[in-house]
A and B are shown apart, each in its own frame.
Chain A
């Protein structure tokens, strides 16, 4: 049996003292006790309880017995701020572009000059682009609901405003030009559009294959981490060369869309997304290397051999 005291990580005030805690309990017991006894505003997802004021949070599944503490364990508490679930954020930030793009496609009033209200573009590539863009975001929504297995349940609330501004803003900016009455179709015409479509579809299938492969690494409800390897699906063979091929395929999809629409704002969106995904890929790659001694050396974070 143990005594547990929890101090505020910044002020070192004693916030909570639990005595007679059994050693075989999980950390989640402490989280719930804290929520009930100390402050009902601090629901478990918002708490970060750690052994060191600047250290990593205890995970729900950590067993108290295996932690490096004496008979009186001292933990530090940090309030992570209001939290929101990843699923909620993803659904909101992906539904926006879907709806917004369609508003521009159907030329809803007050966007373009009144004489164009509810007209349709005479270029078939504009219809194709709408189908591709919508397909992309529908795919993302379905993956959020049925495919992805999230390791953290929540993220800080302010992220939803940041993320939605990014996705919704860029979607509006791109859609405005592609569906504009004065839109100019690609210079190389059908050839360019066809090639771009093939690249786009190839990368969409690739991206989906990677998401499925990553899902299968993790049994339902668990938060285990394993090294992903190529499977029977040829689209996953890229795992031989890249740590985060989902980002590689995503880049490919947007490059395809850029070539298909020949639109500079789309190119900007692709570039900004690429920069962000490279940052994430490098971080993921580094944590793979730290966690697994036998991590395949040939892999690069996002672009084979280059980046």
Chain B
């Protein structure tokens, strides 16, 4: 009977290991994608001598990445991650991709860089966590770099949307006017302005949540050292 129980345990153990390894491989793939983007950014800059037209070289991997987040497997809140994914997808597809003229703006470089660095750190964090071998440096980086990267990313995003506004108004992009047979209208220009305004209540909440997380995660390590 104990032999049966033993082999049963071994069976579950191997399956869990397999599952964990699959997730591990998945995170590693995502990590490498962001590294590719980072390398692509550097190479394109060196090749062209400027960072205009950079967007084209990284558009494909950038667009695929946000769609690969899987909530529930990682120890972050579904709501916050979902929110972040939505805003990333929106910025990439509905603003930068849709409004050509905006792609050579400096603000695009700003938020792409912020996202790239954040994600590289984040996926390294997940990958090493799963390996149970998390260097303190990565944990520290994950909960400290955001202090600069968040405002940097938000500034880039807001400036990009602001830059897109005149083109949206001129071309009436994604807008529907009356009269039409469904008696509906949508002004993308006003919508973008409302999105920009929504950053005012939302950004502080997310930022201070991260600061609280930081105190929680990094805080008690300092307490231990004080005790010693």
Is the pair B181, A187 in contact by a Cβ cutoff of 8 Å? yes
A-B contact count (CB 8 A): 29
Secondary structure dominating the interface of A: loop
Is the pair B184, A263 in contact by a Cβ cutoff of 8 Å? yes
B161-198 to A contact mask, C-beta < 8 Å, 1/0 = 00000000000000000111111110000000000000
Is the pair A180, B178 in contact by a Cβ cutoff of 8 Å? yes
Q: Within the assembled complex, what's the spacing in Å between the Cα atoms of A180 and B185?
A: 11
- Looking at chain A, what size class is its interface with the partner chain? 10 to 19
Residues of A within 8 A of B179 (CB): 182-184
**Least Cβ distance of B194 to chain A in Å?**
14
**Interface check A262, CB cutoff 8 A:** yes
**Least Cβ distance of A182 to chain B in Å?**
4
Is the pair B184, A265 in contact by a Cβ cutoff of 8 Å? yes
**Interface check A47, CB cutoff 8 A:** no
**Interface check A177, CB cutoff 8 A:** yes
Interface residues of A in 238-263 (CB under 8 A from B): 261-263
A261-293 to B contact mask, C-beta < 8 Å, 1/0 = 111110000000000000000000000000000
Q: Within the assembled complex, what's the spacing in Å between the Cα atoms of A93 and B179?
A: 31
Is the pair B183, A180 in contact by a Cβ cutoff of 8 Å? yes
Residues of A within 8 A of B184 (CB): 177, 263-265
Interface residue from B180, B181, B183, B185 paired with A178 (Cβ < 8 Å): B183
Residues of B within 8 A of A184 (CB): 179-181, 183
Residue of B nearest to A268 (CB): B184
**Least Cβ distance of B106 to chain A in Å?**
38
Q: Within the assembled complex, what's the spacing in Å between the Cα atoms of A184 and B183?
A: 6
Residues of B within 8 A of A187 (CB): 181
**Least Cβ distance of B110 to chain A in Å?**
35
**Least Cβ distance of A12 to chain B in Å?**
26
Interface residues of A in 122-177 (CB under 8 A from B): 177
| Chain B positions near chain A (C-beta within 8 angstroms) | 178-185
**3 cross-chain pairs, A with B, having the tightest CB-CB distances, nearest first:** A264-B184, A182-B179, A182-B178
9 contacts between A and B (CB under 8 A): A177-B178, A178-B183, A183-B183, A184-B179, A184-B180, A184-B181, A261-B183, A262-B181, A263-B183
